[in-house]
Structure formats: structure tokens, C-alpha cells
């Protein structure tokens, strides 16, 4: 192709394109700007051309044109690719595209109906299919169905209504056009407690080892939690967990063994418990309340009426009594945030009050009875009660064991130790002498019994010998009588 005399008039700055095959000699007033290669689009390719050539033969500045394959073309002067040649988006059966309209246009839905779309409208393109986005569409987001096993879930928020809900398995869930994943935030303390299995504190605290079996490695990948995943906690056996809904302002209690599943607006009730000996406040942070039977150990400092200061190590058996299914009874379990510190303070107060009115000597002799009576109290018949109930949270103390009693004063401790040692020695010697006396008495009694038995045996032997002699005499008499008769009979026969 060659330009002829009938070619349109050109002005300075105009650009135009010549397509081959041809031979062209530029005129003195013309300049070759660029050589354009042929663009080839295959069946599953497309491109967006910016500033496409209009019907008047001039670039339409600011416009965008979609060109789909299969197709070949040359870019005209002023035209350029927005993102180059792109492949069509291939969607599998469990995938979809979330697309947003940037301009107003009419489109055909998946069911073949016509729909009018305005800027900001969102809709889904579901697979399996291949998709080439229109120029009026922007903000394309690829979504894939999330497979959820049993006891797994995700948090989903509706961007139109703001409602957040939990989607639980087993199922495979694909987000809808008006939905997005919701990230549930937990306090750093709650996340640390979940990571450690339900409780955090010093490693020397006995109860820390109890939470090792409740750790869930799937909840944390590395050191980070997937905030879109439903928060779960495996409540151990004979334990309780309280969950508070801060939207509805309600609480529910889950008893183990069971799985606690947090709704989007729920959080764990974190307990700050006392621990150690003597008890230190806020030493153990946990979401798990142990219902018991369990035991609480503590050191109690008391002072007798004669101002002897003592340290008593006690261990108390405790348990919670709850009526499951009764919301009021269940809520009472968590009405005292630090039930360990509360119980230890109440018991220590009763023991101190009782010991303060008793001299040391009396307390030293009857310490177990005094402490037991002080803690459990006595009934109308004067007998010590078998348990004490704290009505604030239905905590029951069923037994108290006095492990040791030590004077706080160093000199008094040494004196008491010597006194106790001397008492032990005296008691040991007394028991030893009693044992020796009992052994001697037993020996003399055995000897007497032996002599008596010996005499009895000799008596029985003499009686047997007497009887033998009598029998021998009778036998001899019978023998002599028989012989005499025989001789007489013989003599009588000889005379005849």
C-alpha cells in the first residue's frame, strides 16, 4: 500500500500508521516514529487497550477497549496496553470471582437474564468456567471454598448489614458477594492462656501441669493465631469454663469434657487466682475452673494468747457443688474471681481468731482438734461439723490436714525442737521399758507354763506306770493260778 495524491491532508504533529506489505519512502517533512509488531491473541487471551482509535480516526483519550482472542491487530498511534496480554481467568468448581462494577452498564447473569449494574455493585462469578473481565469491572477478588472439618469454623461478616456469624463444619463454605472473613480479636492474655492450654503462671505452681493435656496445636500456626478461624478450647474433665457475650450481656458455662466454641461476640472469662505457699494474688491466670475434689495448700501465720508466733502448713480438700442446668447455680461458680484466695483468707481468719485466745502449751497439745473445730465449727450437740460451705460460690471444704507447725522465732523453734526431741526420747524409753517388762512377764509366764506342763506330764507318766504294774500283777496272779491248776490236774491224773 502506498499513499497517493488522494491521501488526507496532514498537519504538523499528526501521526498515522502504514500497514504492509509495502515499500514506503518518508517525505522530507515526515519522520518514522516506531515500527509496530503485530499483536496476536489466542483463544483464552485478552488485553485492554488504552486510548483506542475512534471513528474519527483520532485516539479517544481516557477510553479503554477490551479485545478478546482469537484476534490479530496493530496498535494505532496513541494506543497502548493497560497491562499487556493476559490469560483468561480459569475457575474450578470450588472457586469464584468477586467483581465490582466501576461504571454503569447492562450485563447478562449466569442464568441468562439481563441485569442493570451501577458503580459499586458486587456479584459473584462461579466456576467451573473461564472469565474475561469487562472494562467496566474492577477490584476482582478470587475466592476459594474453605473446607471445614468437624469442630472447625470461620467467622464471616456481612458487609451490608454488619452482622457477624460463625460458620461451622463439617462443610465446604464459599463466601458470598456481600460477605468477607472477619478477624476476631482476643486480648494478649487470653491468647497466651489458649496457647498454654488454659492457664499461665510460674512453672512451680502445681496446677500448671494440669493444662498440658488441653493444648491445641492447630489453633496456633507458629506463634500466630489465624484470627478468621473459630476459637475453640477443649475443656478438661470435671472443669468449667465461663463465656461472656458482650453484645447480649449474657454468660454461659460449659462443663468438661466438652469443646468450647466462641461465637463472634463472645470472650472467655479469665480468672486471676492466688497460688504458691503462702498464697500470692494474681499468680495464676486461667479460663478453666476446676470443680474438684481437689486440695488447696497454704501457710498460715498465727499468734497465741501468750504471744507465741507460729507458722502452720495446712492442706484443705475442696470441691464445688453445682446444679447443672440451673443458670443461677452455674453463675455462682464464677461469682468470686479468686476462689482460692477467698477460701484461704476465710480459713486463716477463723484459725487466727481461735488460736489468739489459747496459750501455746494448750495449742501445742491439741492443735489438730483446735484448728478443725475453728474451721468447721460445731453443731448444736457440740460435735464438729464435717464440712464448711461458702455460700458466695458454693465452695465446700470437706477436710483439713495440718502438715506442720513451726515457731517463727528462731530461738523458740530450737527450744521447741529440743522439747519435742526430749518428749520423743522419753516416750521411746517408756515404750522400750514397757516392752521389756512385757517381754519378761511373757517369759516368766511361759516358764511357769512349761514347769506346770512338765509336772503334769510326770504325773501322767506315774499314773500310767502304776496302771502298768497293776496289770502286770494281775497277769502274774493269773499265770500262777493257771500253773497251779495245771499241776494239780496233772497230779490227779497220775494217781488214777
Q: In this predicted model, what pLDDT tens digit does every residue of 287-337 receive, in sequence order?
A: 999 887 888 899 988 888 888 888 889 999 999 998 888 888 888 999 988
The rounded distance, in Å, linking the Cα atoms of 30 and 133 is 40
The rounded distance, in Å, linking the Cα atoms of 402 and 366 is 12
**How does pLDDT run across 68-98, given as a tens digit for each residue?**
989 999 888 888 998 899 999 999 999 999 9
Query: What CATH number should be reported for the domain whose range is 193-221+232-290?
Result: 2.30.30.570
| Mean pLDDT of the chain, nearest integer | 86
276: alpha, beta or left, given left = phi > 0 and alpha = psi -120 to 50? left
Pairing relationship of beta strands 280-286 and 271-275 according to DSSP bridges: antiparallel
Residue 208's alpha-carbon distances to 202, 267, 343, in angstroms, are 8, 22, 20
Rounded-to-10 torsion of CA 279, 285, 288, 290: -10
What the block records as the C-alpha cell of 113 is 437474564
What the block records as the C-alpha cell of 300 is 498460715
**How does pLDDT run across 437-475, given as a tens digit for each residue?**
989 889 898 888 888 898 888 888 988 888 888 888 888
Strand partners, 240: 255, 289
The rounded distance, in Å, linking the Cα atoms of 138 and 131 is 13
Rounded-to-10 torsion of CA 15, 21, 23, 28: 0
**How does pLDDT run across 195-231, given as a tens digit for each residue?**
888 888 876 676 777 777 777 777 887 778 889 999 9
Burial class of residue 294, CB neighbours in 10 A (0-12, 13-18, 19+): middle
The rounded distance, in Å, linking the Cα atoms of 70 and 39 is 11
pLDDT computed for residue 176 by the predictor: 92
The rounded distance, in Å, linking the Cα atoms of 226 and 220 is 7
Residue 148's alpha-carbon distances to 45, 144, 145, 179, 186, in angstroms, are 35, 13, 9, 17, 22
Is the confidence at residue 5, as pLDDT, over 50? no
User: Any idea where the domains of the chain sit in the sequence?
Assistant: 193-221+232-290
What the block records as the C-alpha cell of 179 is 460477605
pLDDT computed for residue 30 by the predictor: 79
Is the confidence at residue 1, as pLDDT, over 70? no
Residue 70's alpha-carbon distances to 39, 47, 73, 134, in angstroms, are 11, 11, 10, 17
**How does pLDDT run across 343-368, given as a tens digit for each residue?**
999 999 999 998 888 888 888 888 88
Spell 231-249 as b/e; 16+ CB within 10 A means b.
bbbbbbeebbbbbeeeeee
The rounded distance, in Å, linking the Cα atoms of 290 and 271 is 11
- A 10 A CB-CB count for 325 gives 7
Q: To which residue does cell 480459569 refer?
A: 90
Amino acid at each position: 500500500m502506498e499513499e497517493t495524491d488522494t491521501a488526507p491532508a496532514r498537519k504538523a504533529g499528526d501521526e498515522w500508521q502504514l500497514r504492509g506489505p509495502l515499500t514506503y519512502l518518508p517525505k522530507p517533512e515526515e519522520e518514522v516514529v516506531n515500527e509496530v509488531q503485530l499483536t496476536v491473541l489466542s483463544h483464552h487471551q485478552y488485553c485492554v487497550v488504552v486510548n483506542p482509535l475512534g471513528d474519527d480516526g483520532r485516539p479517544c483519550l481516557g477510553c479503554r477497549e477490551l479485545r478478546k482472542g482469537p484476534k490479530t491487530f496493530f496498535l494505532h498511534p496513541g494506543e497502548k496496553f493497560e497491562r499487556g496480554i493476559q490469560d483468561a481467568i480459569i475457575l474450578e468448581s470450588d472457586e469464584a470471582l468477586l467483581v465490582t462494577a466501576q461504571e454503569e452498564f447492562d450485563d447478562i447473569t449466569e442464568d441468562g437474564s439481563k441485569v442493570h449494574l451501577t458503580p459499586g455493585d458486587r456479584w459473584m462469578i462461579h466456576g467451573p468456567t473461564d472469565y474475561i473481565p469487562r472494562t467496566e469491572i474492577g477490584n476482582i477478588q478470587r475466592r476459594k471454598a474453605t473446607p471445614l472439618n468437624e469442630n472447625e469454623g470461620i467467622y464471616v461478616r456481612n458487609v451490608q448489614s454488619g452482622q457477624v456469624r460463625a460458620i461451622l463444619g463439617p462443610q465446604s463454605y464459599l463466601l458470598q458477594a456481600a460477605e468477607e472473613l472477619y478477624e476476631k480479636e482476643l486480648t494478649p492474655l487470653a491468647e497466651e492462656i489458649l496457647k498454654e492450654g488454659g492457664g499461665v503462671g510460674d512453672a512451680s505452681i502445681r496446677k500448671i501441669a494440669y493444662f498440658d493435656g488441653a493444648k491445641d496445636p492447630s489453633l496456633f500456626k507458629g506463634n500466630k493465631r489465624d484470627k478468621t478461624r473459630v476459637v475453640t478450647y477443649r475443656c478438661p474433665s470435671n472443669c468449667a469454663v465461663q463465656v461472656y457475650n458482650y453484645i447480649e450481656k449474657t454468660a454461659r458455662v460449659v462443663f468438661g469434657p466438652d469443646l468450647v466454641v466462641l461465637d463472634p461476640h463472645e470472650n472467655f472469662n479469665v480468672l486471676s487466682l492466688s497460688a504458691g505457699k503462702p498464697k500470692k494474688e494474681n499468680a495464676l491466670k486461667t479460663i478453666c475452673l476446676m470443680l474438684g475434689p481437689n486440695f488447696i495448700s497454704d501457710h498460715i501465720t498465727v499468734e497465741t494468747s501468750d504471744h507465741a508466733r507460729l507458722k502452720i502448713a495446712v492442706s484443705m480438700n475442696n470441691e464445688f457443688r453445682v446444679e447443672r442446668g440451673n443458670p443461677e447455680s452455674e453463675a455462682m461458680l464464677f461469682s468470686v474471681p479468686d476462689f482460692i484466695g477467698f477460701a484461704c483468707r476465710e480459713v486463716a481468719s477463723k484459725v487466727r481468731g481461735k488460736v489468739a485466745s489459747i496459750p501455746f502449751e494448750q495449742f501445742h497439745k491439741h492443735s489438730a482438734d483446735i484448728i478443725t473445730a475453728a474451721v468447721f465449727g460445731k453443731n448444736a450437740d457440740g460435735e464438729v461439723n464435717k464440712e464448711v460451705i461458702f455460700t458466695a460460690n458454693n465452695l465446700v471444704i470437706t477436710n483439713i490436714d495440718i502438715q506442720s507447725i513451726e515457731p517463727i522465732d528462731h530461738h523458740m523453734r530450737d527450744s521447741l525442737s529440743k522439747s519435742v526431741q526430749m518428749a520423743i526420747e522419753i516416750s521411746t524409753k517408756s515404750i522400750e521399758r514397757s516392752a521389756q517388762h512385757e517381754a519378761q512377764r511373757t517369759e516368766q509366764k511361759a516358764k511357769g507354763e512349761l514347769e506346770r506342763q512338765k509336772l503334769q506330764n510326770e504325773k501322767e507318766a506315774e499314773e500310767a506306770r502304776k496302771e502298768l504294774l497293776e496289770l502286770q500283777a494281775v497277769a502274774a496272779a493269773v499265770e500262777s493260778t493257771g500253773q497251779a491248776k495245771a499241776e494239780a490236774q496233772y497230779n490227779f491224773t497220775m494217781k488214777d
